[in-house]
Chains A and B, each alone.
Chain A
Amino acid sequence: MSKYVELRAMSWYSFMEGASSTDEMLGRAHELGYDAFALVDRNNITGALEFSEAADELGIKPITGVTLMLSDADDETPSPITLLAENRQGYANMCNLITFAHIAEGRTDPVLHARYLPGRTDGLIALIGEPGSGIAAYATDAAMTRADAMVNRFINWFGEKNVFIELQRHFVYGDLERNRALATLAERNDVGLVATGGVCFHERARSRLHDVLTAIQHNLTLEASHRQRKANSHYELRSPERMAQLFREWPQAIENTSRIADRCEAFNAKQINYGFPRESVPNEFEDEQKYLEHLCNEAAKRRYGRITDKVRKRLEREFNLIKRHGLAGFFLLYRRVISLAQDVAIELGHSSAEVPIEEKPPGRGRGSSVAMLVGTLIGLSHIDPLEYDLPLERFISEDELLNIPDIDLDFPRDIREALILRVFEEFGWDHAALTAMLPTYKLKGVVRDVGKVLGLPPLELDILAKRAESHNARNLASEMERIEELQDKIGLPGWRDLIEIGAQLQGFPKGLAQHPGGMIISSTPLIDITPVQPSAIDGRYICQWDKHGADSAGFLKIDFLALGALSQMQECLQLIEKRTGSHVDLTRIDFNDEDVYDDLGRGDTVGVFQVESAAQMQTITRMKPRNLYDLALEVAAVRPGVGANDGVSEFIRRRNGSEWDYDHPLEQRALEKSLGIILFQDQVVTLGVDVGGMTASESDQMRRAFQRRNNEALLKRYWERFRDGAAERGVSEKIAEKIFLKFNPHYMFPEGHALAFGVTAYHMAWLRRRYPTEFYTAIFNAQPMGFWPLETLKQDAKRMGVELQSPHVNLSEAKCVPEGENAFRLGLTFVRGLNSDSASAVIENRNWNGPYTSLSDLVSRSGVQRAALENLVKAGACDELPGFTDRRRALWEVGLRYQASGSQGRLKFEVMQDMAMLRPALERDRMTYEYETLGLWTAGHVMSTMRDFLAENQILNSTQLDDKSDGERVIVAGKVLRRQRPLGKMVFMTLEDEHGMIPLAIPPDTWANYRDVLRMPIIVAEGSVSRKNDTMNIMVHQAWPITPAYTPRADVRDISHNFR
């Protein structure tokens, strides 16, 4: 007898219906001796490629399929159906049907209407009669004639050899009766029977997790989800022998599993059959290649005046590579997308039709694509690769093309939003889709979702979710152990289940979401190669592969990314033009401005793209960049892949004159520019070629291999290849190993990407230095973005001579606007509770009917809700109104005067008789009001209110640290801006006071002792000054909380006893 093959297993990609990963499922299948296996997730094939790759490695034949709900006009309710792809045609039809199930019925509850089946069933095998289906119900209820009719409809759609009636045995009440009825039905209609496991998890121990997922899916507790949950735990993967035993009454149902598996081709990326997009070309050109070459040559003449030898040689080399790999259509497609972006930029007033696209590209290229001159000439990038002699290999290799080159484009937010919709309009949802993203369960989500279905107290769940430091739900027990209120709950029922099931749920995908900007465009209908479904945002569509799936499928992916910094830059330039009347062309500014490099070298970089983080500030003061390439090195250096081998410190040492040499002279070409240290991805590829004797594509595969999961065996093979190649070049094994050990899995920038970002960083630093008012206005308006909160940006603006003015109901616009050369005014939308509609209402009424003449006038005319009016008062936006005396009194007055918009007869009553005698608002009240409604205090800083008290206690401010030497003991205080734990050991914090910032380093034992204090918003810390390599930190020994000045002083003094 043939061996049983499992044809119906759901993985975690069935989202809430499968309780095991594809790896777990396959691992168990391998243990149980399966030779073939079908993954049939609910409504999607997201796991199919990952599954097929892993199955190949285990020697299991992968079969791909899907489980859908099918609605037939003659049937009352949708019934489940499983489709298996027999071949390439079946795969394409399956993708079509999945797409129509999502498109026709809506995003959340896909149902396939039977009208889509005719013409789309070739190459598909249908399994029908699953428990819960209409066929099973009719057969069991002895309504055989109706069941016959349904079976016959399936036979008409799929053909009788392609329809199988499915038997399942889970030891659920009624199984046997149903199976016997279905067997009779099959015999009556002469269709095959097939046994399946209806597998939901790889082992029975996962059934509890499955119950929890079911309850989460239906938003019910476990108690309330009895009807939705499975009756028992027998939905695990069972051995072929066990299945044969369970179905011994119907041996043909077991034999048919093998027959079906034999009929289905093994699924792999080749079956997807993706071809690079092709573009139509004008008649006068022979083909895409010739047209692309023509476009580039014309652009080169415009850019360089003429085609120089250097340009010609580079272009010839790139043209040859493009031709060899058949990428001309790929680049023409990109050009078409860039032209669409240019159209959008012109419509939004950011560009002009007269400016050639290569002169002012609408976006900025990032990633390794920046290395292509062709890219620069078709408007993909704003960097000239010739100027920096950028190597091509990381983007496109001379030999075979094993991975499709990625092109990533940054756009200002408004252009990107419009461009995505424009691409859908241009190509249609059946030819263009965004890639998917798979948000996964981490500790907080686990606590909230699992805790809720277990019925645990919401208050305690909230404490755990908020105070846990780890993101990994496998650490739930240790996190609870650490939180005092939860320590005694660890072993209690419910909490014990949360810990056990939470650990299993860690990393589970929650569903398919939209990638921020990764888009796939195809010349052939996309829905023949991947299912497409609507995203949560109207007008957008996503395919069912995430980034990795799209990569494995060989799709050409364009990343449209929104970069807040570009939005900021764009607005900044518009504000400058508005004030000065002249347009600043950032391509023609002075790239050797000494003042700008002085700012960068001092770490005076708040708000400057890429170099504003605490880590960048610490490094840039040691690197002291003096030109654009230095800045690219700086941007590249602070990356995990460089830091992993202490590369940053060593690079800075060498840059500052420390002696060094290559480990082998063959490293020179790769590492010359970065003093023997690997700073860029490209350098790994070049080392593989020059030292390991690999081809460029092979070396790039090695680089990628470091980032793969479970890569030990793979890396061992690459090491042997590298070692042997190095030996042929005269490199000893010891030296080869030393070089190989420099490679790591952590992220680094490609060189071109670092340059592109370096140039943007310089643009921002230059604007900050030369046009600070417009710079800060624009950065406020571009929030949320960057690294620092508004208050820090306000303090930094002040240091740069720019004052932030309070919001003002008669002067503020919706957004921030400059006022003169050295000030800007907060916009009304910055006041909590005022969205752009309510801010517009205030402004429009003012513009039409004149400025507000009193608080009463504002309340009656503006039409703003009471809470928003109160927030305007608290934020100081009414301070300058005629007759205004005080914010506390004004709040009372708003309460008396406000009448809800729906109330009848909105009359102006006299209210002064009802005014209470209130004490006027003190400075501390105004400060609290503003922090509450604006997130900042326009007039000062919270630390200044307690400065006298701090000084009395010898607590230093940030400027007093300048003359403290290494090892000196100090006490400091400040508002906590940032906490970071880059390598999971030392915690780095940044405090802010009214003068500047104070960097703290907290050793693990101090963190353990003072964790709760250090998580408070304002703290006092005692420690020793640590000065190393031009950087300063306070190495913290102890910490205390401190409350702001509005707390009665006696309380503050009590706390202060702790640190006297």
Chain B
Amino acid sequence: MVSNPRKTPSIGGSYQPLNLPMAVQVVSTSDGQPASVTETRKGRALSSQVEHVIDLWELDDEWWRATSIRRRYFRLLMDTGRVLTVFKDLSNGEWFRQEY
């Protein structure tokens, strides 16, 4: 939250941002739910299949700014046993991984 978003950069220059979204490739089912997620780590593509959608939630915010936030989050249980949180940016359809 900043007092004047038009004058303030979204991230302070001298701070290291944490938990930034990382782009991932997602293959969706017909009803829009993720079926598989592919992450790129150190130049290697790692894919895993979605075993189960644990939870689903959405964010709509900052609609008054030039770029608004519209995201659909999924907490997923992968076939590897890992729990992964990804979101779909609803304004452009791109997918990201981000812990929540």
Contact = CB atoms under 8 A, between A and B. Distances in A.
Contact of B59 (A176, A208, A232, A455): A232
Given A173-B100, A223-B5, A232 B58 contact: yes
Nearest to B73: A173
A497 B1 contact: no
Contact of A454 (B3, B55, B60, B64): B64
B56 interface: yes
Contacts of A455: 4
A171 B88 CA distance: 14
Nearest to A501: B64
Contacts of A232: 57-61
A494 B64 contact: yes
The dominant DSSP class at the A interface is loop
A175 B57 contact: yes
Contacts of A176: 54-56
Interface in A455-484: 455
B2 interface: yes
A234 B64 contact: no
A224 interface: yes
B55 A223 contact: no
B45 interface: no
A226 interface: yes
Nearest to B2: A223
Given A173-B73, A176-B55, A493-B66, A226 B100 contact: no
A223 B55 CA distance: 28
A136 to B, nearest CB: 16
Nearest to B72: A171
A132 B58 CA distance: 18
A231 B57 CA distance: 10
A594 interface: no
Interface in B58-91: 58-61, 63-66, 72-73
A207 interface: yes
A179 to B, nearest CB: 11
A223 B3 contact: yes
Contact of A233 (B2, B5, B57, B60): B60
A493 B60 contact: no
Contacts of B59: 231-232
Given A233-B60, A493-B64, A493-B66, A224 B55 contact: no
A499 interface: no
Could you say which of A173, A454, A494 has the most chain B C-beta atoms within 10 Å of its C-beta? A173
Could you say which of B3, B60, B61 has the most chain A C-beta atoms within 10 Å of its C-beta? B60
A497 B65 CA distance: 10
B1 A224 contact: yes
A407 interface: no
Could you say which of B1, B5, B66, B72 has the most chain A C-beta atoms within 10 Å of its C-beta? B1
Interface string B3-31: 11100000000000000000000000000
A207 B3 contact: no
Interface residues of A, number: 25
A229 B1 CA distance: 13
B54 to A, nearest CB: 8
A207 B55 CA distance: 23
A494 B65 CA distance: 8
Contacts of A207: 60
A230 to B, nearest CB: 8
A222 interface: yes
Interface string A424-460: 0000000000000000000000000000001100000
Contacts of B63: 208, 211
Given A223-B1, A223-B3, A497 B61 contact: no
A172 interface: yes
Interface in A751-786: none
A287 interface: no
Interface string A193-233: 00000000000000110010000000001111010010111
Given A173-B100, A176-B55, A455-B4, A226 B61 contact: yes
Contacts of A925: none
B64 A173 contact: no
Interface in A482-508: 493-494, 497
Contacts of B5: 223
Could you say which of B2, B55, B66, B72 has the most chain A C-beta atoms within 10 Å of its C-beta? B55
A177 interface: yes
Nearest to B56: A171
Contacts of A211: 63
Contacts of B57: 171-175, 231-232
A222 B61 CA distance: 10
A176 B57 CA distance: 9
Nearest to A222: B64
Contacts of B2: 223
Nearest to B5: A223
A173 B100 CA distance: 9
Contacts of A177: 55
A112 to B, nearest CB: 31
19 contacts: A171-B57, A172-B58, A173-B100, A176-B54, A176-B55, A177-B55, A208-B63, A222-B64, A223-B1, A224-B1, A224-B3, A229-B61, A231-B61, A232-B57, A232-B61, A233-B60, A454-B64, A493-B64, A497-B64
Interface of A: 171-177, 207-208, 211, 221-224, 226, 229, 231-234, 454-455, 493-494, 497
Given A172-B57, A173-B55, A173-B100, 10 more contacts: A171-B56, A171-B57, A208-B63, A211-B63, A223-B3, A226-B61, A232-B58, A454-B64, A493-B64, A494-B64
Chain A to chain B: the 5 pairs with minimum beta-carbon distance, closest first: A232-B60, A171-B58, A173-B57, A232-B58, A233-B60
